């Protein structure tokens, strides 16, 4: 039996003991996960520094805080999330118990990515644990040092219930042969298709958090200085290796120069005149991606940055101007610190440009005009839309985070993680009395029985509304009584 | 270009014109669908009679009333469902617009089944239309007469380009599955479902798979057996057992087996007369292949009730098998026919164990007067849905999501769930270009001080909902205090 097969078997055995069902257990594991990130902060920071040249504060800011927030949210809300959810009653169910019961799915496979390895591998795990599942965690081998640190999870979490399996392509393929109850994958669409195909063999549902080219439209009518500040931040964090980084800019040619100027100013302010020597500016993950990104520059005009150092996988914060839509840099998700600017003749052309392409994970629009923003929303589609800022929708746990079309399927964060990795089971508990009502459905079928069936199935009585009206009436009566008695 | 390719291309082109975006347009199409269902009852009934020997009453009762109800609900609620859904605010988003915007996905493929061809083909279509999608409808070729009715008549009521009907068999379905869709909604069996999901994977297309399985039916000693068996007999033999959520087999204590069989026999007689073959309300097996499959399942088991059959008519009598073994032929696959095996178990523990040794079913039925037992069974098993003390009825509850788990399927529909499932629920955050000072904490150079602020804003959770409620309560308390004070100083 392969190591992977063994891990999955152990996880399933642990799940079948029912150990992960009690909420106390899940909360304990979540708190242990919290301890892992606080007690092993140094290990995590060192690993991320080696993998992505991430500074200690950047690690805290962009990996740890968000994860902590998700854990805290799950711990404080778990009782509510896991409780039976009552549902609207109708005439037919007026004396029944009707509710949705969240249940664990079983064994969840989580395949992490390398760009924010802690965040995108462990945040789904929070959802998996909260929902009462067992999990097999497969961190990305590309962020190899962080993968090694994640092996320490077995010192904090139940090592049978939550297995960490490291390895590369062959190990992942071996994992994908096994049967899971859900597969949560973060990465690119090529591998996403392979994951879904493998899942199909077991009828396993999947969540695919993919990517794409997230457009960033800058309207003439906006505070360009602030807009560029936020865009610069969103683009060059983690050296552009962010699934929701603004991939490219669309703006009118009349403001292109101003945009370039402002971005240049911000790059300097954030990363000093020499980003290479600056601790808060990262590196490209490895040589393969370094070469890939450098090749994308071909045929475009560099207006800021462009310098690079292969030995360090360093690429300066770069901006390209007057980029043609057919250029190399526009053929794939950049996932690097290259920011192309494409000029368009206004909103119409921008919308057309965006719609000619695959639905992205994020769509950014910078404008002071609420009309422009609303038009952009209604005439395009994307995983999410953020107006007048970048990236921050990721931290709003009440917003579902996920893609559509090529950018992915499924969503998570906050309660969505819990729901996505649960089975929301419909429950209807009737009684064995009132059998008379059922006469209308039994053969022999007659016209009269059918007439009754029509009444019960089609008559819509909004019981919730009646309850509301009754409550208001009672309150009004009480108020009248009080006023009469006491306000003489 | 193949016929299938053309239909999909036209649907996509029609979708891209944007005409299915407006709610008025969707409501018009839904109302047209309603007119179709009402005006064409005769043609629908004729088709069902030829396909499944469905009685005249069976058409509205089991197919079209449910559709009417779903269409009415969608028409009434569409504005609510399609509106932006506001989301709780936090300190960081207090001055922003934060909401979820439902949007159409694009072109949905609906592959229907043959057992309730209208319910399971048009049911998903309602959700697809309501959500603003285009839809390619592929009815099951097995219920061929119904398929013809759909092909001939739907285009007279619905937008032909947005909602084309593509008929055909395996070859045509395979051709359709090569095309790119934004969602595939399939109702049928697990074998084909795997093929569909595999095809969907090539385009990263999400799918809803409404499958089946062996839905167990546990009868507790502690319950009104007469009523229980009545409901079970109805749930089992409707449509000749060809229902995805039919109670597949019974689990009960050996001490009540005889009584259970007696009661079911009584009800079979009451529903379908002494000679079900002649009863108009009793259906037929869909075709010879399934007839042979079902007859073979009886091998090795004892027939307690029924067993009669007639291949020339694809007729199998309402049948009950007793003392069935777990490894009997009839327990190896979903029956989907009028054979009801009774297996004896020594109580709820054994029943739960039995159920959990098998794939998660689409439905789990429990008959008991003991609410504790019911809750126990729910807690210790899993299934698409659970229904205690009745059969099938959860299907018509539009406030309950209908769908499977594990081998019984993925995704769900009915009511708002159909709308949501065939929509993209897009997260929207609209900020303003001011208050830039607050953002300082996130910009490089990253300092411990800035980090402190970031921690504060991201981790401090202020529930504005409860703060609002507390403020209201405080106001009420003040009001009451004022009144009381006035009264006591009078």
| Dihedral in degrees, nearest 10, Cα atoms A319, A324, A325, A330 | -40
Residue B145: its pLDDT value, please? Answer: 97
B410 pLDDT higher than 80: yes
- Confirm if A308 and A314 have CB atoms less than 8 A apart: yes
A465: contact with B, CB 8 A cutoff: no
Identify the band that residue A461 occupies on the pLDDT scale cut at 50, 70 and 90: low
Residue B466: its pLDDT value, please? Answer: 64
pLDDT tens digit sequence for A209-257:
999 999 999 999 999 999 999 999 999 999 999 999 999 999 999 999 9
CA–CA separation, A105 and B383 (whole Å): 10
CA–CA separation, B417 and A240 (whole Å): 37
A294: contact with B, CB 8 A cutoff: no
pLDDT tens digit sequence for A418-450:
999 999 999 999 999 989 889 889 999 999 999
* Chain A residues inside the 8 Å CB shell of B399: 87-90, 98
For chain A, what percent of residues have pLDDT higher than 70?
A: 99
Residue B105 backbone dihedrals phi, psi, to 5 degrees: -90, -40
Query: pTM of this prediction?
Result: 0.95
Give the B window 70-89 contacts with A, CB below 8 Å.
Answer: 72-73, 76, 87-88
Identify the band that residue B92 occupies on the pLDDT scale cut at 50, 70 and 90: confident
Give CA A379 to chain center in angstroms. 23
Give the A window 70-109 contacts with B, CB below 8 Å.
Answer: 72-73, 76, 87-90, 92-93, 98, 100-101, 103, 105-106
CA–CA separation, A407 and A358 (whole Å): 8
Residue B490: its pLDDT value, please? Answer: 54
When CB atoms are compared, the residue of A105, A389, A408 closest to B431 is A389
> What is the overall mean pLDDT for chain B?
95
Q: What number of residues does chain B have? A: 490
B382: contact with A, CB 8 A cutoff: yes
ipTM of the complex: 0.94
B180: contact with A, CB 8 A cutoff: no
- Judged by CB atoms closer than 8 Å, whether chains meet at A444 and B439 is answered as no
What is the mean predicted confidence (pLDDT) over A472-485? 86
* Among A87, A456, A429, A459, residue whose Cα is nearest residue B400: A87
Residue A437: its pLDDT value, please? Answer: 85
Neighbours of A118 (CB within 10 A): 23
- Residues with Cβ < 8 Å from A367, sequence gap 6 or more? A217, A218, A219, A221, A222, A373, A387, A388
DSSP string, B248-312: -EEEE-HHHHHHHHHHHHHHHHHHH-S-GGG-TTS---S-HHHHHHHHHHTTTSEEEE---EEGG
Residue B339: its pLDDT value, please? Answer: 98
CA–CA separation, A378 and B108 (whole Å): 20
Active site residue B172: no
Cross-strand pairs, A321 = A301
B394: contact with A, CB 8 A cutoff: yes
When CB atoms are compared, the residue of A69, A431, A450 closest to B389 is A431
Residue B157: its pLDDT value, please? Answer: 98
Q: How far is B205 from chain A (nearest CA, A)?
A: 7
Identify the band that residue B480 occupies on the pLDDT scale cut at 50, 70 and 90: confident
Identify the band that residue B465 occupies on the pLDDT scale cut at 50, 70 and 90: low
Q: How far is B104 from chain A (nearest CA, A)?
A: 9
- Judged by CB atoms closer than 8 Å, whether chains meet at A203 and B446 is answered as no
CA dihedral sign of residues A327, A329, A333, A339: negative
What is the mean predicted confidence (pLDDT) over B455-482? 75
DSSP string, B383-396: -SEEEESSSSGGGG
pLDDT tens digit sequence for A363-389:
999 999 999 999 999 999 999 999 999
- Confirm if A205 and B206 have CB atoms less than 8 A apart: no
Residue A83 backbone dihedrals phi, psi, to 5 degrees: -75, 155
- Residues with Cβ < 8 Å from B470, sequence gap 6 or more? none
Q: What number of residues does chain A have? A: 488
Question: Within 13 Å of residue B244, how many CA atoms lie on the same side as its CB?
Answer: 28
SS3 B215: coil
Residue B489: its pLDDT value, please? Answer: 66
- Confirm if B176 and B136 have CB atoms less than 8 A apart: yes
* Chain B residues inside the 8 Å CB shell of A207: none
CA–CA separation, B131 and B102 (whole Å): 8
What is the mean predicted confidence (pLDDT) over B355-369? 98
For chain B, what percent of residues have pLDDT higher than 70?
A: 98
Q: Which residues of A are catalytic?
A: 209, 243
- Judged by CB atoms closer than 8 Å, whether chains meet at B88 and A398 is answered as yes
- Judged by CB atoms closer than 8 Å, whether chains meet at A458 and B72 is answered as yes
Q: How far is A10 from chain B (nearest CA, A)?
A: 17
SS3 B415: helix
Give the A window 174-213 contacts with B, CB below 8 Å.
Answer: 181, 189, 192-194, 196-197, 199-201, 203, 205, 208, 210
CA–CA separation, B30 and B130 (whole Å): 8
Strands (E), B62-144: 85-86, 97-104, 107-111, 134-138
pLDDT tens digit sequence for A252-268:
999 999 999 999 999 99
CA–CA separation, B301 and B265 (whole Å): 18
A447: contact with B, CB 8 A cutoff: yes
Q: Which residue has the tokens 């092993």?
A: A40
- Confirm if B344 and B253 have CB atoms less than 8 A apart: yes
Residue A462: its pLDDT value, please? Answer: 64
B372: contact with A, CB 8 A cutoff: no
CA dihedral sign of residues B189, B416, B431, B450: negative
Q: How far is A88 from chain B (nearest CA, A)?
A: 6
For chain B, what percent of residues have pLDDT higher than 90?
A: 86
Best residue of B429, B462, B487 to probe chain A, by most A CBs closer than 10 Å? B429
Q: How far is A427 from chain B (nearest CA, A)?
A: 5
What is the mean predicted confidence (pLDDT) over A282-292? 96
Q: Which residue has the tokens 């708190």?
A: A31
* Chain A residues inside the 8 Å CB shell of B436: 226, 229
Question: Taking the CA atoms of chain A, what radius of gyration do you get in angstroms?
Answer: 27
Give CA B40 to chain center in angstroms. 25
CA–CA separation, B361 and B387 (whole Å): 12
DSSP B103: E
Active site residue B244: yes
Residue A476: its pLDDT value, please? Answer: 86
When CB atoms are compared, the residue of B193, B270, B382 closest to A425 is B382
- Confirm if A239 and A249 have CB atoms less than 8 A apart: no
- Confirm if A387 and B430 have CB atoms less than 8 A apart: yes
CA–CA separation, A260 and B244 (whole Å): 61
B396: contact with A, CB 8 A cutoff: yes
What is the mean predicted confidence (pLDDT) over B268-290? 96
CA–CA separation, B251 and B350 (whole Å): 9
Task: Give the residue from chain A lying closest to B190, CA to CA.
Answer: A203
SS3 B94: coil
Residue B462: its pLDDT value, please? Answer: 56
CB pairs under 8 A between A and B: 297
Q: How far is A428 from chain B (nearest CA, A)?
A: 5
B51 pLDDT higher than 90: yes
Identify the band that residue B93 occupies on the pLDDT scale cut at 50, 70 and 90: confident
Residue A455: its pLDDT value, please? Answer: 83
When CB atoms are compared, the residue of B60, B69, B431 closest to A450 is B60
> What is the overall mean pLDDT for chain A?
95
- Cis amide linkage into residue B445, ω under 30° from 0: yes
- Confirm if A110 and A208 have CB atoms less than 8 A apart: no
DSSP string, A79-143: HHHHS-EE----GGGTTSEEEEEEEE-SEEEEE--SSSHHHHHHHHHHHHHHTT-EEEEE--SSS
Give the B window 315-354 contacts with A, CB below 8 Å.
Answer: none
Give CA B436 to chain center in angstroms. 48
- Judged by CB atoms closer than 8 Å, whether chains meet at B271 and A443 is answered as yes
Best residue of A72, A443, A455, A485 to probe chain B, by most B CBs closer than 10 Å? A443
Neighbours of A314 (CB within 10 A): 19
Please report how the helices A3-16 and A169-177 are oriented relative to each other, as an axis angle in degrees rounded to 10.
40
Give the A window 214-253 contacts with B, CB below 8 Å.
Answer: 222-223, 226-227, 229-230, 233
Q: How far is B300 from chain A (nearest CA, A)?
A: 31
CA–CA separation, A216 and A201 (whole Å): 38
Cross-strand pairs, B427 = A384, B100
* Chain A residues inside the 8 Å CB shell of B21: 378
Region for residue A346 given its phi and psi (left: phi exceeds 0; alpha: psi -120 to 50; beta: otherwise): left
Cross-strand pairs, A159 = none
Active-site residue, from B217, B229, B240, B244: B244
CA–CA separation, A372 and A366 (whole Å): 9
A413: contact with B, CB 8 A cutoff: no
Sheet containing strand A85-86, strands side by side: A85-86, A97-104, A422-429, B385-388, B363-367, B216-219, B249-252, B339-344, B319-322, B302-305
- Confirm if B276 and B296 have CB atoms less than 8 A apart: no
pLDDT tens digit sequence for A107-143:
999 999 999 999 999 999 999 999 999 999 999 999 9
Active-site residue, from B4, B63, B70, B210: B210
Q: How far is B428 from chain A (nearest CA, A)?
A: 5
CA–CA separation, B44 and B57 (whole Å): 12
* Among B236, B124, B145, residue whose Cα is nearest residue B188: B124
Residue B407: its pLDDT value, please? Answer: 98
- Judged by CB atoms closer than 8 Å, whether chains meet at A226 and B450 is answered as no
Identify the band that residue A333 occupies on the pLDDT scale cut at 50, 70 and 90: very high
- Judged by CB atoms closer than 8 Å, whether chains meet at B444 and A270 is answered as yes
CA A320, A323, A324: angle at the middle one, nearest 5? 160
């Amino acid at each position: 039996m392969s190591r992977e097969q063994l891990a999955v078997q152990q996880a399933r055995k642990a799940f079948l003991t029912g150990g992960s069902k009690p909420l106390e257990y899940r909360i304990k594991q979540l708190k242990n996960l919290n301890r892992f990130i606080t007690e092993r902060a140094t290990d995590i920071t060192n690993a991320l520094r080696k993998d992505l040249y991430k500074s200690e504060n950047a690690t805290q800011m962009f990996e740890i805080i968000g994860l902590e927030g998700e854990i805290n949210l799950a711990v404080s809300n778990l009782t509510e999330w896991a409780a039976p959810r009552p549902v609207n009653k109708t005439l037919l169910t007026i004396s029944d118990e009707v509710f949705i019961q969240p249940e664990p799915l079983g064994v969840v496979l989580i395949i992490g990515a390398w760009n924010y390895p802690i965040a995108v591998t462990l945040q789904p795990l929070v959802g998996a644990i909260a929902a009462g599942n067992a999990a097999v965690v497969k961190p990305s081998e590309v962020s190899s040092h962080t993968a090694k640190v994640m092996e320490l999870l077995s010192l904090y979490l139940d090592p049978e219930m939550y297995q960490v399996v490291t390895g590369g392509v062959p190990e992942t393929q071996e994992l994908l042969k096994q049967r899971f109850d859900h597969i949560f994958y973060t990465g690119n669409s090529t591998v996403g298709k392979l994951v879904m195909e493998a899942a199909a063999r077991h009828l396993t549902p999947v969540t695919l958090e993919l990517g794409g080219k997230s457009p960033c439209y800058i309207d003439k009518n906006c505070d360009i200085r602030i807009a560029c500040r936020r865009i610069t931040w969103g683009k060059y964090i983690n050296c552009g290796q962010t699934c929701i980084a603004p991939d490219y800019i669309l703006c009118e040619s009349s403001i292109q120069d101003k945009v370039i100027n402002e971005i240049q100013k911000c790059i300097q302010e954030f990363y000093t005149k020499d980003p290479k020597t600056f601790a808060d500016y990262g590196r490209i993950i490895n040589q393969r991606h370094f070469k890939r990104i450098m090749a994308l520059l071909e045929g475009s005009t560099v207006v800021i940055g462009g310098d690079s150092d292969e030995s360090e996988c360093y690429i300066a914060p770069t901006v390209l101007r007057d980029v043609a839509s057919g250029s190399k840099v526009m053929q794939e998700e950049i996932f690097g610190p290259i920011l192309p600017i494409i000029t368009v003749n206004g909103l119409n052309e921008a919308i057309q440009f965006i719609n000619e392409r695959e639905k992205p994970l994020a769509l950014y629009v910078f404008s002071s005009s609420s009309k422009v923003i609303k038009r952009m929303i209604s005439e395009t589609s994307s995983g999410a839309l953020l107006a007048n800022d970048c990236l921050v929708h990721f931290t709003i746990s009440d917003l579902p985070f996920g893609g559509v079309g090529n950018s992915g399927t499924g969503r998570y964060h906050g309660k969505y993680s819990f729901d996505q990795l649960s089975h929301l089971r419909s429950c209807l508990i009737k009684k064995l009395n009132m059998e008379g009502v059922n006469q209308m459905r039994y053969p022999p079928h007659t016209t009269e029985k059918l007439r009754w069936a029509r009444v019960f199935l089609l008559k819509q009585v909004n019981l919730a509304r009646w309850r509301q009206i009754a409550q208001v009436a009672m309150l009004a009566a009480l108020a009248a009584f009080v006023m009469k008695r006491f306000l003489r | 270009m193949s016929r299938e390719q053309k239909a999909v291309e036209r649907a996509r082109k029609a979708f891209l014109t944007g005409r299915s975006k407006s709610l008025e347009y969707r409501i018009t199409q839904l109302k047209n669908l309603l007119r179709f269902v009402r005006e064409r009852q005769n043609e629908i009934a004729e088709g069902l009679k030829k396909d499944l020997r469905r009685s005249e009453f069976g058409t509205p009762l089991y197919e079209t009333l449910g559709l009417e109800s779903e269409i009415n609900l969608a028409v009434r609620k569409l504005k609510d469902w399609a509106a932006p859904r506001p989301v709780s605010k936090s300190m960081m988003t207090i001055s922003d617009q934060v909401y979820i915007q439902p949007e159409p996905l694009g072109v949905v493929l609906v592959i229907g089944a043959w057992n309730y061809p209208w319910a399971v083909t048009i049911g998903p279509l309602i959700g697809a239309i309501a959500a603003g999608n285009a839809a390619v409808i592929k009815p099951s070729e097995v219920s061929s007469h119904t398929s013809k009715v759909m092909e001939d008549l739907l285009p007279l009521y619905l937008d032909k380009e947005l909602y084309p009907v593509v008929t055909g068999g395996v070859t045509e379905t395979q051709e359709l599955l090569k095309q790119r869709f934004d969602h595939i909604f399939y109702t049928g069996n697990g074998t084909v479902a795997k093929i569909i999901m595999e095809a969907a994977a090539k385009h990263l297309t999400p799918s809803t798979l409404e499958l089946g399985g062996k839905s167990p039916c546990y009868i507790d000693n502690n319950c009104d057996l007469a009523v229980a068996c009545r409901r079970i007999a109805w749930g089992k033999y409707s449509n000749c057992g060809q229902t995805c959520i039919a109670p597949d087999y019974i689990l009960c204590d050996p001490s009540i087996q005889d009584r259970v069989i007696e009661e079911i026999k009584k009800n079979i007689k009451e529903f379908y007369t002494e000679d079900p073959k002649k009863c108009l309300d009793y259906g037929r097996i869909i075709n010879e292949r399934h007839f042979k499959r079902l007859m073979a399942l009886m091998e090795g088991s004892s027939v307690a009730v029924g067993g009669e059959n007639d291949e020339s008519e694809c007729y199998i009598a309402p049948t009950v098998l007793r003392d069935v073994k777990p490894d009997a032929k009839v327990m190896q696959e979903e029956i989907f026919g009028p054979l009801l095996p009774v297996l004896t178990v020594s109580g709820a523990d054994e029943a739960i164990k039995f159920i959990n040794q098998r794939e998660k079913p689409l439905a789990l039925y429990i008959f008991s007067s003991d609410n504790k037992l019911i809750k126990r069974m729910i807690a210790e098993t899993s299934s698409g849905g659970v229904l205690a003390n009745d059969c099938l009825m959860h299907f018509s509850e539009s406030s309950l999501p209908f769908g499977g788990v594990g081998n019984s399927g993925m995704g769900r529909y009915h009511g708002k769930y159909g709308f949501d499932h065939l929509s993209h629920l897009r997260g929207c955050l609209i900020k303003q270009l001011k208050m830039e000072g607050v953002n300082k904490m996130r910009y490089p150079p990253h300092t411990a001080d800035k980090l402190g602020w970031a921690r504060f804003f991201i981790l401090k959770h202020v529930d504005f909902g409860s703060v609002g409620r507390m403020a209201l309560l405080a106001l009420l308390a003040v009001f009451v205090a004022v009144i009381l004070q006035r009264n006591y100083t009078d």
